[in-house]
Amino acid sequence: MDENKIGQFILELRKEQKITQRDLAAQLHITDKAVSKWERGLSCPDISLLTSLADILGVTTSELLNGQRSNMPSNDIEQSVDHALVYAEKTANRRATSFRNILAIAFSLLLLVGMVVCLICDIAISGKFTWSLYPISSILFAWVVMVPFVKCGRKGLLGSLVALSIFIIPFLYVIDKIIGKASIMLVGTAVSLFSVFYLWCIYGIFNKLNSRKFLAFGLSLLLIIPLCLAINITIAKLFSIPILDIWDILSFGIVMIISVSLLVTDYIRNNKRS
């Protein structure tokens, strides 16, 4: 398999279809950097992308793998290639799923061991459940939130966000009852709601701008400023303290500089591709 030949073929087909690297990347849910590497012969498309890539470029998978159009019909060859690709993709998916399942089980067992150790130490020292309730509650919360991501990888991010959104308030309520201070529930609820909303915004930004990472990172950093301001205002009203101090202003300035740099970089890169 000639990577340079395949890359040149992809480049020619993309231009024939009059689509940019960014457009092709967006349709395949990958980065334009990956498409650029293909066309420069630095790498080849992942096997799971070949069928979709061939459909977008208007060729068969066998033509794509050969790096040239075929003048003769080759239904049998194409069918064999398709079957091989489907089999390879299913095999890879099964292996990845098996690995993630093992990882999720190991992660769960590790957290379970942590809870047991906390219980044993607490009972041995205090003779009853006291401080161990804090780490046990936190470990259970971490398990509920993290397991979807550990088990499904990037696809599990949505599940983790949903779990975080649902269980963050009940978790704060439990901690509040254990400690017996109403301020935890009061402050924690406001801060957690702002933070969860921010995380949902980031999730939406990266999903929408999957092929423009610099723009996504820049916008995500910019959103930190209103997030911090909202949290500061809430805390200031509750405890009668200043909304901003010199460190807040300095931090906002640094975030602004980095964000603008990322946005400018994205603008330059985007214009070059156009």
Buried b (16+ CB within 10 A) or exposed e, 233-261: ebeeeeeeeeeeeeeeeeeeeebeeebee
From first to last of its 274 residues, the chain has per-residue pLDDT tens of: 577 888 899 999 999 988 998 889 888 888 888 898 888 888 888 877 888 888 899 888 878 887 888 765 555 555 656 656 664 666 677 777 888 889 999 999 999 999 999 999 988 888 887 888 889 999 999 999 999 999 888 888 999 999 999 999 999 988 888 887 667 788 888 899 999 999 999 999 998 888 888 999 999 999 999 999 999 998 888 888 888 889 989 999 999 999 999 999 988 888 876 5
- Cβ proximity of 38 and 96 under 8 Å: no
- Cβ proximity of 62 and 74 under 8 Å: yes
57: number of Cβ within 10 Å: 19
Average of per-residue pLDDT values in the chain: 86
67 DSSP 8-state letter: T
pLDDT of amino acid 50: 84
Residue ranges of alpha helices (H) inside the chain are 3-16, 21-28, 32-39, 50-57, 61-66, 75-126, 133-152, 157-179, 182-208, 213-239, 246-273
Q: How large is the greatest C-alpha to C-alpha distance in the chain, in angstroms?
A: 82
Q: Whole-angstrom Cα distance, residue 167 to residue 156?
A: 16
pLDDT of amino acid 147: 93
